[in-house]
A = this chain, B = another copy of it.
Amino acid sequence: MNNHKSEKKLTIFALGGVGEIGKNMYAVQYANDIIVIDCGSKFPDEELLGIDIIVPDITYLIENKDKVRALLITHGHEDHIGGLPYILKQLSMPVYASRLTMGLIEGKLKEAGLLGSTERHLIHADSELKLGSMKATFFKTNHSIPDSLGVVLDTPEGVVVHTGDFKFDQTPVGDHADIHRMAEIGRRGVLALLSESTNAERPGFTPSERIVGANFIDAFRKAERRVIVSTFASNVYRLQQVVDAAAATGRKLAIIGRSMVNMITIASELGYLDIPDGMLIETNEVNRYADNQVVILCTGSQGEPMSALTRMARSNHRQVEILEGDTVIISATPIPGNERSIGRTVDELFRLGANVIYGSGTQTGMHVSGHGSQEELKLMLQLMAPKYFIPIHGEYRMQLHHKKLAEAVGVQPGNTFIVDNGEIVEIVHGDARKSGKVPAGNTYIDGLGIGDVGNIVLRDRKHLSQDGILVVVVTISKQDKTIKSGPDIISRGFVYVRESEGLLEEAGRIVTRTITKSISDNVNQWTTLKSNVKDALGRFLYEQTKRKPMILPIIMEV
């Protein structure tokens, strides 16, 4: 089925990351060489009951495992590295990543027991990799995590650029993006640009990370008592600005939340975070300092149920309680879907007497996006001046907006390809067109299971979740087909049993009647008998309750 792949042509496709936030994984193939870029995961929507996480379906890579030359990682966010522990269990690939990114990856691999078995290569902005018939180089970008890279692939057909996630921050907290190298890449000619679309609906420029720092200092100064800042652990620049504002206002710093402690440890060890000696204090030391000498930095900016901030808000954190007059800064913008849980956390904090600074970053000044807005996306398009354009990452509407931006900047209308996961863009002799599909989709992770929970299991969970289950057990004699024991009816998640005795007794009588009648009608197949019980009981329960629990008739023969 994939015999066309060994031809001398360039193909570009996504195994995840198109038409949805998260789960990013792109691939570029030339003849017998495949380069994979990123390996993200995403959290499931509520309807995927019991699913822990979603990763890309890599059937195509497994079928072509001899061709996979490298897995390049652009940066250390979950939607770019979160799939590694699951994907590498299915297929081992050499992983290339910059220092901080690799530090985060190694933590994940260690936990998954994959550290020893995974080939790992540290790269940096000046690395040059020979990967089969292709060459990979990189360029520095600005994003809300240090060490973010764009990828340049020199292929026999021409240059393919993958931007990773980026903004253009003219006053970054860390390094500048390497705009000169980008210009140079564009000057030499780009065949195809894959550029990220997250903020393609947003006009203008995304504000600089640095404005948040100034606002932190103001807020820390104004706060008469303790300051509690909640943000994404991965935003090391933001963490640095919390540290700097604490230093500027003479406050000590306590860190709460597993992922926050973890990030600060890794980032400090690798030199990405600079915390003055003596500033860090243990959580249990907080009460030894005056209220206006303390900052607490914690997780929970998205209202996650088990996070530090949520537990503090619900007054069930082991060590820290919110005090009247505390200032809580939520340094993040709600991710769609999290508004209600964040709202609940904010309400609880207010109830405890805290002064809460919350809402969108534009209003509060306490958060800026790590993704470039329309003017920055256009700037990237200008710099790269690609012949072909493939908007990546984000929902369909964002990619569609990005297409319009590209056309405004000069990409020929027919030369932009919005592709679904799996759809192939093929480029031969400089001509690009859509050409078939590779297998692609969602692989559900549930516990240790990778992809073993599918539609049938999910449909059953959905059914069980709505109206519960009734198990009906009856023992029937093999010889004379009479009921020897039962029917016993056990229900879970259907009605409160103690208050529904009458209903369940009547249900039992209906089962007995149905079985007796079926047997006297000479029904011999257990399946038919079961289906008769299901029908009669289902009808009765729906009439009585307007609910449709799952009904599981079990017949034991003795």
Contact = CB atoms under 8 A, between A and B. Distances in A.
Interface stretch (A61-69, A72-80, A164-172, A483-491): A483-491
Interface string A465-490: 11111010101000000001110101
A395 B485 contact: no
Query: Within the oligomer, what is the number of copies of this chain?
Result: 2
Contact of A464 (B400, B447, B464): B464
A440 interface: no
A447 B494 CA distance: 11
Chain A interface: which size bin?
Answer: 35 or more
B544 A448 contact: yes
A527 to B, nearest CB: 14
A456 to B, nearest CB: 6
Nearest to A455: B496
A500 interface: yes
Contacts of A468: 50, 457, 460-461, 464
A433 interface: no
A457 B495 contact: yes
Contacts of A45: 340
A187 to B, nearest CB: 34
Most buried by B among A454, A547, A557: A547
Contact of A456 (B460, B462, B496, B556): B496
A340 B44 CA distance: 12
A556 B557 CA distance: 11
Contact of A486 (B446, B452, B466, B556): B556
A387 to B, nearest CB: 25
Interface in A424-466: 446-449, 452-454, 456-458, 460-466
B467 A50 contact: yes
Most buried by B among A447, A465, A475, A484: A465
A545 interface: yes
A121 interface: no
Contacts of A467: 50, 446-447
Contact of A490 (B350, B484, B554): B554
Given A544-B448, A547-B446, A485 B557 contact: yes
Interface in A386-443: 395-397, 400
A467 to B, nearest CB: 6
A103 interface: no
Contacts of A339: 336-337, 339
B556 A465 contact: no
A453 B475 CA distance: 31
A502 B347 CA distance: 50
Nearest to A448: B546
A217 B463 CA distance: 46
A45 to B, nearest CB: 7
Given A484-B558, A558-B484, A492 B464 contact: yes
A343 interface: yes
Given A336-B339, A452-B499, A485-B558, 11 more contacts: A50-B467, A50-B468, A346-B397, A446-B545, A448-B546, A456-B496, A464-B493, A471-B554, A475-B556, A488-B554, A492-B552
12 contacts: A46-B46, A50-B547, A201-B359, A336-B339, A339-B339, A346-B397, A347-B395, A449-B547, A452-B496, A460-B468, A471-B554, A554-B554
